[in-house]
Amino acid sequence: MSQHPSDAPAATSRGVLTTANGNPVENNQTSMTAGDLGPVVLQDFHLLDKLAHFDRERIPERVVHAKGAGAHGYFEVTKDISHLTCAKFLSKVGKRTPIFTRFSTVGGELGSADTARDPRGFSVKFYTEEGNWDMVGNNTPIFFIRDPIKFPDFIHTQKRHPQTHLPDATMMWDFWSLVPESLHQVTILMSDRGIPDGYRHMHGFSSHSLKLVKGDGSFHYVKWHFLTEQGIKNILPEDAARLAGTDPNYATRDLFNAIERGDHPAWKVYIQVLEPEQALKYRFNPFDVTKVISKKDFPLQEVGRMVLNRNPENYFAEVEQAAFCPSHMVPGIAPSPDRMLQGRLFSYSDTHRHRLGPNYQQIPINRPISGVNNHQRDGAMTINGNGGSAPNYEPNSFGGPAQNNLAAQSHAKNFTVQGEVARHTYEVTNDDFVQVGHLYNLFTAEQKDRLAKVIASSLSQVPDFIQKRQLKHFYRADEDYGHRVESALKAAGSKI
């Protein structure tokens, strides 16, 4: 295997300062002027180039998950699952694959506080010998919505109000109360797990069902779980608010410092495995990302261990330019019909072409170590030699890369469907409240009180009719949940 793609030289050498075109710079402190009191001159290329490059330093931040921290490490197989998949990086116990991980908050901008109440992104890029697999998950096993068509609207409610430019509780609760399938994730968000203590003390989940595929094309549905070896730790709301002022980069600092002092965070990696028929017969839709698959029904099976042991050498090059995409999959891993996942398969590479350019895969942090061999050519920032003089079309009579017909690749994304092309809505039913009730009843009395108080502190700020609409959902999940939130709302001054 070649060198890790993001091995960057450390900036230790004190060689001669040069312009970007390599000319030595004789003075980096004084601009060239026409006389002592005269204006600066156009011929000072070093000044012009320095300013012009600076003017272009910012690229668009991620439209969601803008604030984050990343680290390098490895994934090691600890249990054999070669009977489930032909993915080569999972082929034998002890096999190690280099990875790059990025953790993030969701709603805030690049400079926002790490201790926000928000889900946390949990992205892992596996640099395998068959190209990259990106596991782009969250620290929650579920999500607010289950149809990608709702995502831009949902995210707008998490961002700033179009007029006030302020975060807006009314937008959030208006949307959530009109989209009750969000209640499960809203409950996690408002619970103690809504503010993890840094990035080391949280789990990670694929959330969606994915497929593991064998060489003959047969498959299982799986959900991925990354369980923290550091233990779960959360931050209380008062401490989070204080830290947002005193140390807004709390989680970024914590991750960097831990790795720097050799305290390498690790996660044990598990899967839940369902036969296709079991998935279709399951009492909940296994492709509805607002629901979990019970671990009692489908226990966790160990797969491996992920360790983070190296900090990025350069934040922008490695963390900001990292491009994770759920459709980056290796042979042996394939998508399920989860419609949210299907929407995501489009959205990420699309935003990468906008955020980083059409050749974003050539940026070292994104480049597969297995090499890239295709007929894509040209485009802004082509830096990989552009295929040289090799043919840039296929079929051709002069050689070049050719498709392989491995069964896993040709069958993995095939499956049989029947039905009418139409907008098949997942209506809200009692099923959408069952798991919320179960989750609520896992909390201690103290946790339930805190949950109700956190909800009320935000919900009490919004118009009464929205409070009433949302309150019904809490009651529907669990009578006590409803009571507690209602009492907390009244204590917070609500007039409902």
Catalytic positions: 65, 138
Shortest separation between residue 66's beta carbon and ligand HEM, angstroms = 8
- Taking the C-alpha atoms of residue 450 and residue 19, their distance in angstroms, rounded to an integer, is 58
348 binds ligand HEM (CB under 6 A): yes
- Taking the C-alpha atoms of residue 5 and residue 368, their distance in angstroms, rounded to an integer, is 7
454 binds ligand HEM (CB under 6 A): no
Indicate which single residue of 6, 46, 64, 448 sits in contact with ligand HEM (rule: CB under 6 A): 64
DSSP class of residue 163 equals: T
CB under 6 A: which stretch of 176-184, 225-233, 346-354, 436-444 binds ligand HEM?
346-354
State which residue has the least CB distance to ligand HEM. 121
The string of DSSP codes covering 125-136 is EEEEBTEEEEEE
Indicate which single residue of 340, 436, 471, 489 sits in contact with ligand HEM (rule: CB under 6 A): 340
Indicate which single residue of 215, 343, 364, 400 sits in contact with ligand HEM (rule: CB under 6 A): 343
Burial class (CB in 10 A: 0-12, 13-18, 19+), 474: buried
Contact (CB, 8 A) for 452 and 485: yes
368 binds ligand HEM (CB under 6 A): no
121 binds ligand HEM (CB under 6 A): yes
C-beta closer to ligand HEM: residue 51 or 59:
59
CB under 6 A: which stretch of 15-23, 135-143, 237-245, 389-397 binds ligand HEM?
135-143
139 binds ligand HEM (CB under 6 A): no
312 binds ligand HEM (CB under 6 A): no
337 binds ligand HEM (CB under 6 A): no
141 binds ligand HEM (CB under 6 A): no
Tokens 């942090």 locate to 365
- Rg of the chain over Cα atoms, rounded to whole angstroms, equals 25
Give, in order, the Cα–Cα distances in Å from 191 to each of 8, 183, 345, 448, 466.
Answer: 41, 12, 30, 8, 21
Extract the runs of DSSP E, i.e. beta strands, from 78-154: 96-104, 121-128, 131-138
Question: Hey, CA dihedral for 71, 72, 78, 83, is it positive or negative?
Answer: positive
104 binds ligand HEM (CB under 6 A): yes
Burial class (CB in 10 A: 0-12, 13-18, 19+), 61: middle
Q: Which residues bind ligand HEM (CB under 6 A)?
A: 62-65, 68, 102, 104, 121-123, 136-138, 143, 148, 151, 207, 289, 322-324, 340, 343-344, 347-348, 351-352, 355
